[in-house]
C-alpha cells in the first residue's frame, strides 16, 4: 500500500476508535517521502511516557428510551364507524382487541404477512400458515400447520368464531384480525385532519387507525459511520436510566445505511443503533427519556501504549516512536495494536515501560 494511503488508513482507524487525538506526527507530502522526524532536528518539544496497563475501547453515547419499531394498523374490511380504540400506552397481545368498527372487534394475531384477503377452504400461502400458527397457539388444533387452508382449518376457525360470539362461517378476513410481528404497544390513534381518531369517526378500508410499536423497551442512539465498529450487533452495553439505575443489554440492531441526522447544525452521516435489555421489565421510565449507553468494547490486558500523536511515519515504511534518552533521540520501529482513548498499543524491540517518547507540544 502506498505510504500516503497507509497514513490515511491509520487516521481512519483512529477516528473509529474515537480517541479524539490528532495524529500530528503522521505527515507526508502527496508526492514525496514523509517529513523528517523530530529526531533528525533535535529534541522534541514535549515527551510522554510509555505506560503498561489495560487498554479498552469502551465508549459512551447519549441515547433515548423507547419501544422497538413503529408501524400503522390500518382498517380492514369495508370500513365504517369507529366504536372503540385500544388506549395509548396499552399493550395488545395475541387475540386481544385492537379496535372496533360498527361494534365489531378486530383482533391481533402474530405474523409478518399482512392480512390482505378473506381466507377460506382451498386457499394456499404464507398467510394461511400464519393463521394456522396462531390458531394452534391459542389451542384451536386438529389440522396440520402448513400453507393450505383445509376443511380442518375451517373447523378450527369455526371454534375460534364461536368462542368470540361470531357467526361460524369457517372463513376469516381483515375485518376480524390484523397481523403484527408480536405483541404491540399502542402509541397513539392515527391522525385525522388536525386531531386524532376517536370513537364516532368514520374510517375507510385501508386507512390508518392506530400507530403502534413493539411492546419491548429498547434504547436507540446514533453513531457516525466512522464509529460503527464500536456498536456492532452483539456488543455488550450498560444503560444508565434517568433515575440512575444501570441495566445490562446488548446492541440488537445496527443500520446498514448512514443518513444525515435531524440536527440542521450537524449533517454528519450517522447510523441508527438499537439496544435491547437483558431484562426489559426492569427498564422503567417515560418514553423518549434521555439515557446514557456505555458500550463495552475490547480490552487488551497488560500492554504497552503511547499517545497516538507519538507515532512517526518511518522513511522505510511502517511506524515508530521517537525515544528520548541520555540527552538524545532514536527512532524505534513499533507494531500497532488497539487504538483507544487517545492511545495506541505498541510493541517493539527494546521498548519498555517508563521510556519517554516525543510528542508535539500541546
For residue 310, the SS3 value is helix
Cβ contacts of 13 within 8 Å, gap of 6 or more:
339
Per residue in 143-183, pLDDT tens? 999 999 999 999 999 999 999 999 999 999 999 999 999 99
Is 313's pLDDT higher than 60?
yes
Q: So what's the pLDDT on residue 51?
A: 97
pTM, to two decimals: 0.60
Helix or strand holding residue 158 (H, E)? helix 151-163
Which pLDDT score, from 0 to 100, does residue 262 have?
62
Beta-carbon count within 10 A of 52 CB: 13
Tell me the C-alpha distance between 58 and 359, whole Å. Answer: 24
Average pLDDT over every residue of 120-128: 97
**How are strands ordered across the β-sheet holding 184-189?**
71-74, 208-214, 184-189, 91-92
Q: What percent of the chain has pLDDT over 70?
A: 88
pLDDT given for residue 102 in this prediction: 96
Answer with the residue of higher pLDDT: 4 or 103: 103
Coil, strand or helix: which one is 147? Answer: coil
pLDDT: which is higher, 153 or 79: 153
Pairing of strands 269-277, 259-260: antiparallel
Q: What is the pLDDT of residue 14?
A: 43
* pLDDT tens sequence across 29-73: 334 444 444 444 479 999 999 999 998 877 889 999 998 888 999
Q: Using CA atoms, how far apart are residues 318 and 253, in angstroms rounded to an integer? A: 36
pLDDT of residue 243 exceeding 60, the answer is yes
Strands 299-307 and 51-56: what pairing? Answer: antiparallel
pLDDT of amino acid 202: 95
Span 255-270, pLDDT tens digits: 888 887 666 777 788 8
Amino acid at each position: 500500500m502506498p505510504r500516503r494511503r497507509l497514513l490515511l488508513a491509520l487516521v481512519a482507524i483512529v477516528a473509529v476508535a474515537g480517541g479524539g487525538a490528532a495524529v500530528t506526527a503522521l505527515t507526508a507530502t502527496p508526492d514525496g517521502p514523509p517529513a523528517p522526524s523530530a529526531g533528525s532536528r533535535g529534541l522534541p518539544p514535549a515527551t510522554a511516557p510509555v505506560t503498561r496497563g489495560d487498554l479498552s475501547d469502551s465508549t459512551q453515547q447519549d441515547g433515548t428510551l423507547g419501544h422497538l419499531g413503529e408501524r400503522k394498523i390500518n382498517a380492514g374490511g369495508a370500513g365504517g364507524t369507529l366504536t372503540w380504540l385500544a388506549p395509548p400506552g396499552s399493550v395488545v397481545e395475541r387475540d386481544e382487541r385492537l379496535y372496533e368498527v360498527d361494534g365489531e372487534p378486530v383482533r391481533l394475531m402474530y405474523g409478518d404477512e399482512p392480512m390482505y384477503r378473506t381466507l377460506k377452504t382451498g386457499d394456499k400461502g404464507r398467510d394461511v400458515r400464519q393463521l394456522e400458527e396462531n390458531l394452534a397457539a391459542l389451542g384451536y388444533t386438529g389440522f396440520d400447520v402448513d400453507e393450505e387452508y383445509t376443511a380442518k382449518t375451517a373447523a378450527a376457525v369455526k371454534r375460534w368464531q364461536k368462542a368470540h360470539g361470531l357467526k361460524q362461517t369457517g372463513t376469516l378476513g381483515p375485518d376480524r384480525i390484523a397481523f403484527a410481528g408480536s405483541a404491540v404497544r399502542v402509541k397513539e390513534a392515527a391522525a385525522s385532519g388536525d386531531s386524532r381518531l376517536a370513537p364516532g369517526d368514520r374510517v375507510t378500508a385501508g386507512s390508518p387507525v392506530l400507530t403502534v410499536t413493539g411492546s419491548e423497551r429498547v434504547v436507540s442512539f446514533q453513531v457516525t459511520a466512522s464509529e460503527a465498529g464500536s456498536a456492532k450487533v452483539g456488543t455488550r452495553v450498560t444503560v444508565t436510566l434517568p433515575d440512575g439505575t444501570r441495566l445490562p443489554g446488548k446492541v440488537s440492531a445496527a443500520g446498514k445505511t448512514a443518513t444525515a441526522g435531524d440536527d440542521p447544525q450537524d449533517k454528519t452521516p450517522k447510523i441508527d443503533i438499537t439496544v435491547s435489555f437483558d431484562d426489559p421489565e426492569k427498564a422503567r421510565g417515560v418514553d423518549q427519556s434521555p439515557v446514557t449507553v456505555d458500550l463495552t468494547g475490547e480490552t487488551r490486558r497488560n500492554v504497552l501504549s503511547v499517545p497516538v500523536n507519538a507515532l512517526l511515519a518511518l522513511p522505510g515504511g511502517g511506524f515508530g516512536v521517537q525515544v528520548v534518552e541520555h540527552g538524545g533521540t532514536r527512532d524505534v520501529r513499533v507494531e500497532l495494536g488497539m487504538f483507544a482513548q487517545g492511545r495506541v498499543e505498541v510493541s517493539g524491540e527494546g521498548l519498555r515501560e517508563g521510556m519517554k517518547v516525543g510528542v508535539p507540544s500541546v
